[in-house]
Amino acid sequence: MGSFNWVCLIFILQFLCPVSIFSDSFLSSNGLSEIPTKFLNFAKNQVVYDWMVGIRRKIHENPELCYEEFETSELIRAELDKMGIAYKHPVAVTGVVGFIGTGRPPFVAVRADMDALAIQEMVEWEHKSKRPGKMHACGHDAHVTMLLGAAKILKEHEEELKGTVVLVFQPAEEGGGGAGKILEAGILENVSAIFGLHVAHNLPVGVVASRPGSLLAGSGFFEAVISGKGGHAAIPQHSVDPILAASNVIVSLQHLVSREADPLDSQVVTVAKFQGGGAFNVIPDSVTIGGTFRAFSKETLMQLRQRIEQVITGQAAVQRCNATVNFHEKDKPYYPPTINDEDLHEHFQKVAGDMLGMHKVNNMQPLMGSEDFSFYQEVIPGYFFMLGMENKTLGPFDSVHSPYFRVNEEALPYGAALHASLAARYLLKFQQEAPLIEEKYHDEL
């Protein structure tokens, strides 16, 4: 399905999936509240659960880095084909975008990221990564699986959908800005809302957490080469020491937050890379440092970028060195802050509360981590939440980006059912707006 005629897609979907006529009982508040429980029971069915576990383990064994997710993409398409779900591929190199429902407005999207990390897995188990130096250390294998699980749920209940659910299987979240590439493809232009999730190692299974407004920080990366003049360590006066210059740069960079930032405007500047020298008694010609900077507003992020460059070049010059700074915008684009829509927060609380109980729907503090889901939120009302997977009987779970990171597969049905419920309930809740959306968008996605 590399190329697909959109008019044909709408025509086919409308004939295969006619708009259902809902009974008053189904559209009542009681009917709406029953959807999450019904979907969760479906996802917990042993056959469905085993199917999801098998998919997750297959993806985990074969991790692929950003924009290299060809086998993962092929697996997704094969499963969608089995379910009879139409899709568009390729989108953003390896991405897949599927469609379930009437093919008519309103359109609501649900997103999962696909890529792995360049980390050597240290967890010893039967389905350990088969690719040296690559690992699903952030749970994206589970995210893909849960969205496929949601697809199965929604396809099974397709006659209950008043509109169209758009399934976004996105590449390159880990620094590649795949969400931006999905948007550039124009395939989400008429989507009214989008939802996403991330597994959380420190929340119990069956518990979710999020908040309205700022949830995750925006982020950028920097790398600098500080050049001096190498020489013998015993006669430093004949050299220009780039290690000393780099040390002063690192200390000065910390002052950007401690002395220039508003204490109420959370920011982070971290130098996590320092490379230079290879002998105890030789001053090197140059040193390379690198790191990340984060903030909860785009304006603050750009201010940090400007000051980072000024501090590095200025402090290097004080030590008689030269410095070049690279922010790698092309291969590591800036991520905007992740900001949850206020109305969708209310929607999330109602749906998750009906499924799990309100005592398991937590408000959380903002985190300085970043997510490229934020690209969607810049143009579409969006909502992102954390899904618990901790089970203390299984021992402690390491945090994401650790070589010891594990996924508790007990969380898979919850993620699948939440995805499906958030989308289905959104379509039902806003069905009264559908005529206006149809007129505006001429029945096309």
DSSP state of 337: P
Listed in sequence order, the residues at least 6 apart from 346 whose beta carbon sits closer than 8 Å to its beta carbon are none
pLDDT at 15: 34
C-alpha dihedral (193, 199, 203, 208), degrees to nearest 10: 20
**Which numeric CATH code is attached to 6-215+337-441?**
3.40.630.10
Cβ-Cβ contacts under 8 Å for 362 (sequence gap 6 or more): 203, 207, 208, 209, 210
Residue 347, marked binder = no
Residue 186: its pLDDT value, please?
97
The identity of residue 109, as a single letter, is: A
Residues listed for the chain: 445
pLDDT, position 431: 75
**Could you tell me which of 281, 272, 192, 201 has the C-alpha nearest to residue 236?**
281
- Indicate whether this model's pTM tops 0.85: yes
What is the predicted pLDDT for the residue at 33?
A: 85
**Structural tokens at position 228:** 């001096």
pLDDT at 11: 34
Q: Are 219 and 308 spatial neighbours (Cβ–Cβ below 8 Å)?
A: no
Task: Using alpha carbons, list the distances in angstroms from residue 57 to 126, 356, 419.
Answer: 9, 26, 20
Count the neighbouring beta carbons within 10 Å of the beta carbon of residue 5. 9
Q: What is the pLDDT of residue 396?
A: 93
Taking domain 218-326, whether its CATH number is 3.30.70.360 is answered by: yes
Could you tell me the CA-to-CA distances from 31 to 36, 354, 375 in Å, in that order? 10, 11, 34
Q: Find out whether 136 is annotated in a ligand binding site.
A: no
10-residue mean pLDDT profile of the chain (445 residues): values are 41 37 39 91 98 98 98 98 98 98 96 98 98 98 98 96 97 96 97 98 98 98 98 98 98 97 96 97 98 97 98 98 96 96 98 98 97 98 98 95 98 98 94 51 48
419 marked as binding residue: no
Q: Do domains 6-215+337-441 and 218-326 have the same CATH topology?
A: no
Report d(CA 318, CA 312) in Å as an integer. Answer: 10
Residue 123 three-state SS: coil
Which string of DSSP letters, residue by residue, matches 338-378?
A: EEE-HHHHHHHHHHHHHHH-GGGEEE---BS---THHHHHT
- Which candidate, 191, 167, 19, places its Cα nearest to that of 108? 191
Domains of the chain by residue range = 6-215+337-441, 218-326
User: Does residue 8 have a known ligand-binding role?
Assistant: no
